[in-house]
Structure 1
Amino acid sequence: MPLPALKIAILHYQPKGDEVDPVVTQLTEALTGLGHQVTTVAVDDRVSEILRDIQRAKCDLVFNVCETFASDYRMEVNVAALMEMGRVKYTGSSTAGLLLAQDKVLTKQLLEFHEVSTPNFAVFENDTFETKGILRFPLIVKPARSDSSIGIGRHSVVQNWQELTERVREIRDDLQDEALVEEYIDGREVYVGIVGPASNPTILPIIEMDFGNWSPAIPMVSDREVKFAPETEGSPRLVIAKDLSDELRARIHRAARLAYRALKLRDYARMDFRIAKTGEPYMLEANPNPYLEKTGELAMAAEEAGLDYAQLVSRILESAAVRYHLHIREAAGKRARAAQS
């Protein structure tokens, strides 16, 4: 869908003294190449300046890649809420979608309601224990509300009650969070990118985190080192998922589409799955507004689908533009030109 030339402000997190995230440069180049006028708005820890700087930009649309505020990833939701209160049009998931996805316990409950398979789990809070059914070791212990694999590592996989208790205590004491405890799924880890509105999303090819060079003595866990230092020797690498049956792909795609709608996500997202040795796919979590770096999972999946980086960005932009009726400008312009001829 051709869009009119828009004035777009890229909203991103940049504490004073830090370098600009490469994604901001990549997005600027892509959007400029698509014919749009681009400016950037940096966010640090000053609430009063966010709306002021956006208003000064006089943009038609904010391309929101701000995932943190004041060094707190949980405040991503608040930044979106601030824009909504200011009636700012922006790309990506709304406050509702961000909140649902950030709360991993609520996410799993919604997935179960919509009959999307997810590992059995329990929640530890204030020395209470809530569970559905019987959990079997090994288990993986995570913060109930986290992002970018914060609080997750090789030590997160526990084999007995003593290890479980110690890890739960660490999460409560160090991260001031509930502990989400899941049955650890020993199997392939795959990611499904989705682009577009919830009413008619495009499901991108499946990407796999290949642990082929991983030590068999270490649990396969995508921690921060794996995600942000992939050049480390022995680290897994992102590849196009192969050897998946058509039936399995269809099941994963269906689960991803259901989750996208159930969690009220929009424009783009990434769903993470583990495929058990039995062949059963289990959804682990949803990632609204995933990192848009050119070598990341979403861009890799888009390329496999025949979309280059600029086309991927354009698809995200189109989804938001239609929601806010910004695409109507082009149609109105054509009608005006036709009337004059």
Structure 2
Amino acid sequence: MSKQEVNMSLWGDRVNSQLASLNVKTLGRVGVLLGGRSGEREISLLSGNGVLDALCSKGVDAHGFDTGLRCPTELAKEKFDRVFISLHGRFGEDGTIQGLLELLNLPYTGSGVLASALAIDKIATKQIWLSNGLSTPEFEELTATSDWNTVVQHLGLPLIVKPAHEGSSLGLTKVKSVDELPAAYQLAAGLDKKVIAETCIVGDELTCPLVGQGDTAEALPVIKIIPPQANYDFHNKYFSDETQYLCPTGLAPEVNARVQNLALAAYKTLGCRTWGRADVMLDQKTGEPYLLEMNTSPGMTSHSLVPMAAKAAGVNYADLVLWLLSQTLQQKEGATR
């Protein structure tokens, strides 16, 4: 058994031990925030309902709260003691709802205001990673007046164009010729004021879930993603049964360890907490891992990746959800989150 496998087995044992001594009554009345107003609303509803069902199955007094249908200020009237954030994208994963919860003094799952705001912004995230010596594909911000030929000269082909604040591959285009750049930009710009282009790394697509905070943060098992036709788009992420997920990855232990170390450094550098998921590409030519983005409110659907990694570490879906919620017990009243 590798060192990483031993560590994950120990993490699973710790989680199960902590849950065995947890009195769910101490969690009080729990709100599960779901739905929202972003382009990922559909996925948020799937994630949130899964989380809600899991908490209820564990005896938690949990209630759904759709921030896309109800005014978030109604949260105060619900008298929740804490909330599980199952929102994805803007108005849920970008620090806005986190700021409101801070004002209401409501403990919540996931990263705080600053880390959430940074991680949702792919440009800011890359700047921070690069300043800390972490590998990520070369990039530049696009505008309507960008010189497309210069962009290609800088980043090469193929390249990736995507909105800077969207997830789930929304508005993403793999550009194979300079003539395709204007349309790719328009597609992304239709979803976001900021558009990013980055060098396309060809190779294995990997993801690494992360848990904890600061010095206690840990990387869960790496997952290798094999989508049909190498196209991991919105459909293949959430609805297709053709996408393959390998955990263990089948890669050499030292490669998995490098990916985990890189993902963990990326997580800590942004100041994330509770949980997250780093998406990584492994360059087929050099074998080097490159960070793509950090998700601070990962999906919890039937096709989601964090539950897969947790299962490989010995923690089932319902126990993972309960453990994540229990981490809010550590958030002290009035403390900066």
Same topology, TM > 0.5: yes
Structure holding more helix per residue: 2
CA distance in 1, matches of 2:146, 2:47: 42
CA gap 1:21/1:175 in 2 versus in 1, 3 angstroms: closer
SS in 1 for 2:249: coil
Q: Which of 257, 261, 273 does residue 264 from structure 2 map onto?
A: 257
Residue in 1 that maps onto 2:279: 272
1:229 is the counterpart of 2:239: yes
How far did 1:14 drift? Answer: 6.4
CA distance in 2, matches of 1:145, 1:40: 25
Percent of aligned pairs with the same residue? Answer: 28
SS in 1 for 2:261: helix
CA distance in 1, matches of 2:164, 2:81: 36
Q: Give the letter aligned to residue 68 of structure 2.
A: D
SS in 2 for 1:249: helix
Q: Indicate if the aligned counterparts of 1:294 and 1:300 stay in contact, CA closer than 8 A.
A: no
How far did 1:45 drift? Answer: 4.7
Residue in 2 that maps onto 1:142: 162
Residue in 2 that maps onto 1:168: 185
Which 5+ residue runs of structure 1 have no aligned equivalent? 68-72, 326-341
How far did 1:318 drift? Answer: 2.9
| TM-score in terms of structure 2 length | 0.81
Q: Give the letter aligned to residue 76 of structure 2.
A: Q
Residue in 1 that maps onto 2:55: 31
Which 5+ residue runs of structure 2 have no aligned equivalent? 1-17
SS in 2 for 1:89: coil
Cα deviations by residue, 1:160-219 (Å, 9 ceiling, x for unpaired): 3222233224433x22433211111111101101122233123111111113xx34xxxx
Cα deviations by residue, 1:39-92 (Å, 9 ceiling, x for unpaired): 22222255xx3232x23332221111133xxxxx42223222222222221111
Q: Indicate if the aligned counterparts of 1:190 and 1:241 stay in contact, CA closer than 8 A.
A: no
Q: Indicate if the aligned counterparts of 2:82 and 2:107 stay in contact, CA closer than 8 A.
A: yes
CA gap 1:323/1:199 in 2 versus in 1, 3 angstroms: farther
Q: Which of 196, 213, 220 does residue 180 from structure 1 map onto?
A: 196
1:80 is the counterpart of 2:101: no
CA distance in 2, matches of 1:298, 1:307: 11
The CA RMSD measured in Å over matched residues stands at 2.7
CA distance in 2, matches of 1:226, 1:160: 24
Higher Cα Rg, which structure: 1
Where do 1:83-94 residues align within 5 Å?
A: 83-94=101-112
Q: Indicate if the aligned counterparts of 2:118 and 2:125 stay in contact, CA closer than 8 A.
A: yes
Q: Which of 201, 204, 210 does residue 226 from structure 2 map onto?
A: 210
Q: Which of 253, 264, 285 does residue 246 from structure 1 map onto?
A: 253
SS in 2 for 1:284: strand
Cα deviations by residue, 1:73-113 (Å, 9 ceiling, x for unpaired): 42223222222222221111222122111110111111111
1:110 is the counterpart of 2:124: no
SS in 2 for 1:256: helix
